[in-house]
A and B are shown apart, each in its own frame.
Chain A
Amino acid sequence: MRNLKRQLLAGPYILWMAGFIVLPTLVILYYGFTTTSGNFSLLNVTSIAFSVHLKALVLSLKLALSCTVICLVLSYPLAMILNSMKSKSQGLIVFIFILPMWMNFMLRILAWRLLLSNNGVINSLLGALSLPGLDILNTPKAVVFCMVYDFLPFMVLPIYNAMARIQPDIIEAAKDLGAGNITIFFKIIVPLTMSGVISGIIMVFVPALTSFAISDLLGGGKVLLIGNVIEQAFMQEYNWNLGSGLSVVLMVFVIASMALMNSHGDEGGGTFA
């Protein structure tokens, strides 16, 4: 009886999952493995091997990877600094970090386009200071830049959470036993924040890999990511089978990267634990 009650509590979520996750996935799988006339076919999935699609996938992986690395390099020291501050100012800084997320993500991308354009605010300022202009709009650099800007909080917060959870006693004990700062960092802090790092990596890498709006708006239509190819297949070419087939391939990449990461982070304590 107790078991039944518990299951009923999960009801709304199961309903949600069935309607908005399982069902759509099945539809994607159906479209992905059939032709327009409804016959079984592997062509949509294997078309990832076409040079255009492969190039887009490689570029997506490359940009997502650079975005993740940059986020990690920025976030880790930041989380450490945050953690060493007084708890009152910690709350304020975390708040400031989350503040931009109150605004819609599309609006922020559009704002960056205006800021970065040839006669935009940034270039006018640089020009006024007689510095060379920043010419990154409509290049992959601008796409990575905006991805970092958008996804940075998703890296900072889990790392910061994991770090805040380390008991000061542990570090004191290590010091008592004669460990130097470097040893403490590598033997205690890094292993204990690993779960946060891994959640952070997943939460940055996966959306970066699948994004298409950022590359569309800041890449000037010149940066073709796999997300753009899929979007074009659906919206431009009216070829849902191809779009679904490529989505299946992308899903495999996403699941593989999550599995790879999770196999390293079983200790728990991260956002997904």
Chain B
Amino acid sequence: MRKTILFLLGILALSSFCAGCGKKDSPDILTILNYGKYIEPEVLDMFEEETGIKVEYEEYITPENMYTKYKAGAIDYDLICTSDYMIEKLIKEDEALELNFGNIPLARHLDQTYFDFCKSFDPDNQYTLPYFFGTVGILYNKKMVDESKVDSWDILWDQSYSGKIIMADSVRDSFMVAEKRLGYSLNTTDDDKLREAQNLLIEQKPLVYSYLVDEAQDEMIAENAAMAVVYSGEAGLALEYNENLAFSVPKEGSNMWIDAWFMPKSAKHTENAEKFLNFLCREDIAYLNFDYVYYATPNIQVKDSLDTELQENTTIFPPKEILDNCEVLKPLDDETTMRYNLYWKEIKSAD
């Protein structure tokens, strides 16, 4: 008797589980996955108000986190914003849907230069719409750091800043710093070079205050650390809050990245997604977003509307000579990715 009841209840539990799987499909929603702090929240409300489409918005920290969330398949995302190499990986895995640019007429406001940049991972500009771009560099506090030395990654290994350095809590970004300091490509797959970079990072660990991504900016504004490896836009925003801060892209070169929107295969509301992309290209909306995230925008109208001081701000809009010295991240093969992850874990567990 007891066994049958247990069995029946078990079946019930399972069936109620499966009932949850066949979720209702409402036409008036749009599910978005984006980096943290990467859109003016008000923009989402405005979009909802203007179109009546309900936005379900979710954030992630690193591109690898995004990949896991997407691949887990629990949520059917309609639109994802992520970085170059991760988009390239997903395009190669046949996970991206073609955009219908006929539905995104305002894309003409975007500078063709950045569509050309996107060709490095989306050769025919079929899948992606550029959102923001920038570099990676050192955000430092002028009161605490010798400014003559911040033009090199070497300063991140300087003993006199022990306990005052913030590194990026992201595999590729941290390895990039070590690889560039050694003069290697940031896409190297050579195991010896990787080990060398790993040793450098282990050597650096005692000097590191903490490994952070989105919070690095806050720590720098609060002057809890002397320097941090951050994305250029984050630096731009931090500069607004604390005038002692400055930003430098070291001479050894760095990473130039471009974040773009694409529709993943899971997209159920492609029309809504394209409507949203068109909305993002509108001048007032693009301006609100620029003002909130402070990364370089590919939107010509927005850039032209800024005052000259801001247009010439090299922290936000990296000049050509810096960009020429930068490399774009490429997706790595599975085996190399595994090695990067293992080496990163070893760094994190080192004493």
Contacts and interface: CB of A to CB of B under 8 A. Distances in A.
A234 B345 contact: no
A117 B348 contact: no
B349 A221 contact: no
A238 B169 contact: no
Given A19-B16, A52-B346, A236-B68, A221 B212 contact: yes
Contact of B208 (A19, A120, A222): A222
B306 interface: no
Contacts of A220: 208-212
A118 interface: yes
Interface string B188-229: 000000000000000001001111100000010011110000
A23 interface: yes
Contact of A119 (B16, B67, B223, B346): B223
Interface string A1-34: 0011001100100110011000100000000000
B6 A14 contact: yes
A229 B341 CA distance: 11
Interface string A117-154: 11110000000000000010110000000000000000
A117 B341 CA distance: 29
A266 interface: no
Q: How large is the interface on B (under 10, 10 to 19, 20 to 34, 35 or more residues)?
A: 35 or more
Contact of A118 (B17, B224, B348): B224
A220 B207 CA distance: 12
Interface centre among A7, A120, A222, A234 (most CB of B within 10 A): A222
Given A18-B13, A222-B210, A117 B222 contact: yes
B223 A236 contact: no
B2 interface: yes
B342 interface: yes
A52 B342 contact: yes
A23 B209 contact: no
Interface in B160-181: 163, 169, 171
Main secondary structure of the interface of A (DSSP, over half): helix
B9 interface: yes
B211 A4 contact: no
B21 interface: no
A119 B210 contact: no
A235 interface: yes
A35 interface: no
B71 interface: yes
A117 B220 CA distance: 12
Identify which of B10, B16, B171 gathers the most chain A CB atoms within 10 Å of its CB: B10
A117 B215 CA distance: 13
B1 interface: yes
Given A15-B13, A18-B9, A119-B222, A229 B208 contact: no
Contacts of B346: 52
Contacts of A221: 169, 210-212, 348
Contacts of A11: 9
A203 interface: no
Contacts of A7: 2, 5
B9 A138 contact: no
B300 interface: no
B62 A117 contact: no
A15 B348 contact: no
A95 B5 CA distance: 42
A8 B341 CA distance: 49
A224 B13 contact: no
Given A228-B348, A236-B65, 7 more contacts: A14-B9, A15-B13, A232-B341, A235-B64, A235-B65, A237-B338, A237-B341
Q: Which 3 A-B pairs have the closest CB atoms?
A: A220-B210, A221-B211, A18-B13
